[in-house]
Amino acid sequence: MAKELLPGQRRFTPASVASDVALLVWFVFSLFPIVWMVLLALKSDAEQTSTYFSFTPTLENFGTVLSQRGTDLTSVDFTSSLLTSLINCGGAVIVSLVIGIPAAYAAGRWQYKGSNDLMFQMLSFRFAPELMVIVPLFVIYNQIGLFDTKVGMIWVLQLVTMPLVVWILRSYFQDLPEDLEQAALLDGYTRSRAFVMVALPLVRPGIAAAALLAFIFAWNNYVFPLILSDSNASTVTVAITKYLGGGGQAYYNLTAAAAVIAALPPLILALTIQRYLVRGLSFGAVKS
């Protein structure tokens, strides 16, 4: 008879050990590109093509990327591109939240014939390949003067983030009991005040989760900044690739250092709102 296990204990069997080993191998395999990128960012120019783990670490690459010396080597102003990305992505997220939160509330509270079709049509904007619409957008942006402007980039990036915000927050509003708002209306609140004072505070975890995911989607976007911007509105995703061919030489170590720096803003944002994030991603966000 098998011995009864205490809480927190587990029985080791060949199958469980094999599954743990397989999980560990997959974990190492998944994280290895990130580890290799960090190691490459710490290598000098002479060691950047070496595949050995034994090398002399240096932080010079990060200084080069963040200083004007990076401009002298590869014609890349990475610091300016980093600031531009923060402005573009932050602006796109703000626009998406300002428009998307009321839209999600309306979609979650009022159902009518064709409402689900309308929501699916909004989500279909995320399905369409960006290359399908980039040519008409390029022509329109040139004609109305939005090419290589921060306003133009904010406007096109919110097309990426808006459907995500609406779909996530719609599930939150659907999960909220309508009795809470009805009670507020009986107390003399208007519908808009009930929305602001009652419904909105209860979906703060969802807003945090939607804002973070929207920021990541906008931050990682490459096609729109590549085609619709030049020097004034170029983002980090475009600036990083320029280290691979600047001056006729590929600076792999500078590329890795720039990628590490570019990964920090979403990470810092996630750590800042982590108390809302876990609840936001686990409650309502996956409901269809």
Tokens 């990470």 belong to 267
pTM of the model: 0.82
User: How many angstroms separate the CA atoms of 161 and 97, rounded?
Assistant: 9
What pLDDT is attached to residue 258?
A: 92
Sequential DSSP letters for 155-212: HHHHHHHHHHHHHHHHHHHHHS-HHHHHHHHHTT--HHHHIIIIIHHHTHHHHHHHHH
Q: Which of 81, 117, 84 is nearest to 239 (CA)?
A: 81
| Span between the terminal Cα atoms of the chain, in Å | 46
The enclosing H or E element of 94 equals helix 78-109
How large is the average pLDDT for residues 30-40?
A: 90
Of residues 176 and 23, more confidently modeled: 23
Averaged confidence pLDDT in the chain:
83
Residue-wise pLDDT tens digits, 149-182: 999 999 999 988 998 898 888 888 888 888 888 8
Q: What tens digit of pLDDT does each residue of 74-133 get? A: 677 888 999 999 999 999 999 999 999 998 988 888 877 767 777 777 777 777 788 888
Mean pLDDT of all residues in 270-276: 78
pLDDT given at position 88: 95
Spatial CA neighbour of 206 closest among 172, 157, 234, 166: 172
Q: What CA–CA distance (Å, rounded) separates 253 from 45? A: 7
